[in-house]
Amino acid sequence: MELVEEMQTYYGKRAPVYDNSMGYDDHGTVKSLEPVIKRIRGLLDGRKILEIACGPCFWTQRVSEVAESILATDFNDSTLDQARRKNLDWDKVALQCADAYDLSRVQGVFDAALAVDWFAHVPRSRFHEFLRGLHGRLQAGSIVVLCDQSPGVESLSGMYDQEGNHLQTRDLPDGSKCRVIKNFLSELEFKELFARYSSHVEIASYPECRRIVVSYTLKT
């Protein structure tokens, strides 16, 4: 199986245990993420947001409190199914299955995009394909917010594929294993990558909870 499809399968199966495995149902973990949540909410206050790879909507729920609206999308309906069980603000939040690499069926007007723990999974060879597709759904001058994990010693496998993607092997509850791409880009790499789309790229790092928030405003 190609890596992109393998990741889709992996997260489809992981959906029922995803929040628990991330510590999103643990008070201490959520508290440690508060500065990150505050940063993302500040960037997206009052926005009409297109969210990519929303998973069971942990971040959607927190951002929806300040957003005007969020269309939260994910490839896997199993992850959206977890979100449907939550007490989200359904006046503001809508869910849709969508492939991040093909957003052609996404309807709506958006002035912001959000993706948490997604960009690290995008193969290097598809960075600009994904970004062009995303930007094509946004109004000029929109803000794009990406939040990813920064590496810990245990997360660096030392395995790379031919195009330089960092690979990890993950276990599923049924005992099967899947390979995922988990790239950890440096601040310089992020800045160089987004320079062609924006003259305003900001990076905020949260080493205490191993998070980075990258945001940029699309050229008008």
The residues binding ligand SAM (CB under 6 A) are 7-8, 11, 53-55, 58-59, 74-76, 79, 99-101, 116-118
Cβ distance to ligand SAM smaller for residue 116 or 218: 116
Cβ atoms of 83 and 95 closer than 8 Å: yes
Q: At its nearest, how many Å lie between ligand SAM and the CB of residue 116?
A: 4
- Residue 169, classified by CB atoms within 10 Å of its CB into exposed (0-12), middle (13-18) or buried (19+), is exposed
Report how far residue 142's alpha carbon sits from residue 114's, in angstroms, rounded to the nearest whole number: 11
Q: At its nearest, how many Å lie between ligand SAM and the CB of residue 111?
A: 20
Which single residue brings its beta carbon nearest to ligand SAM?
55
Cβ distance to ligand SAM smaller for residue 38 or 219: 38
Residue 33 CB contacts under 8 Å (≥ 6 apart), including other chains: 209, 211
Sign of CA dihedral 122, 128, 131, 132: negative
Q: At its nearest, how many Å lie between ligand SAM and the CB of residue 208?
A: 18
Cβ distance to ligand SAM smaller for residue 118 or 216: 118
State the CB neighbour count (10 A cutoff) for residue 213: 21
Q: At its nearest, how many Å lie between ligand SAM and the CB of residue 43?
A: 16
Report how far residue 41's alpha carbon sits from residue 47's, in angstroms, rounded to the nearest whole number: 10
Cβ distance to ligand SAM smaller for residue 76 or 142: 76
